[in-house]
Structure 1
Amino acid sequence: MWRRPFLTIFLSAALTLPALAFDRPFPAPTKRGQMTPGAHPEIVIDGKQRRLSPGARIWNENNLIEMPAALRGSNLVVNYTEDTQGEIDRVWILTKQEASQPVAKQINPMQR
């Protein structure tokens, strides 16, 4: 009788552990900067006022979508991309481990 709960717990743990260790591949035109959120759609990257594109997406450290109005903090280390008009269209808030690596090492080799 005790085998079924043990097996269920073991399988659940075994299936969730790989999800905790992931590398986020970033597209080739990715840039690095320090972001401070502002009044939507404005943000500050590296001390310069920038604008989020209408369809901008922001991912937090856990790779979950973050709403611009919910962002808190300042000088968040981010990777970001720009659209053809120069607006920011994708932002990834980096973990300390990701921030310590150079951007070139994080670029997805399939998109170069």
Structure 2
Amino acid sequence: MHVAATGYAQVQRLLPQNAKRGELVGQQYVFPLVQINNKVMKLAPGGLIFDQNNRTILHGYLPPYADVLYTIDTNGQVARIYILTPQEQLMLDRAGPR
């Protein structure tokens, strides 16, 4: 049996329109605190962190520095963090400020 890998089409992930862009500094604070744009915020209960492959990761696996999109819940806590790929960063740079 022969299996040929011809390559996989990458599906562009959907990023929320209401997300804010920021620079995350990871590994500085214990869970549930995160630092985005030099501001220390609390990750909401049930808050999710998505890596560049759109997999959920634990707070302890945050990279030291990353460009991110993030959403804030009604209590002012971080609900979602999306670690951006270089392609997503370029796309957002071209789209202008959020």
Common fold: TM-score over 0.5:
yes
Poorly superposed stretches of 4+, deviation over 2 Å: none
TM-score by length of 2: 0.84
Decide which structure has the larger Cα Rg and report it. Answer: 1
Calculate percent identity across the aligned residue pairs: 30
Displacement, 1:78?
A: 0.3
Which segments of 5 or more consecutive residues in structure 1 lack a partner in the other structure? 106-112
Instruction: Check if 1:61 corresponds to 2:55.
Output: no
Instruction: Check if 1:52 corresponds to 2:18.
Output: no
Which segments of 5 or more consecutive residues in structure 2 lack a partner in the other structure? none
Number of residue pairs the alignment of both structures matches: 93
Deviations 1:34-90 (A, max 9, x none): 01122111111101111100111001111111100122312x100111100110011
Instruction: Check if 1:89 corresponds to 2:79.
Output: yes
TM-score by length of 1: 0.74
Displacement, 1:28?
A: 2.2
In the aligned structure 2, how far is the partner of 1:46 from the partner of 1:79? Answer: 11
Whichever structure has more helix as a proportion of its residues is 1
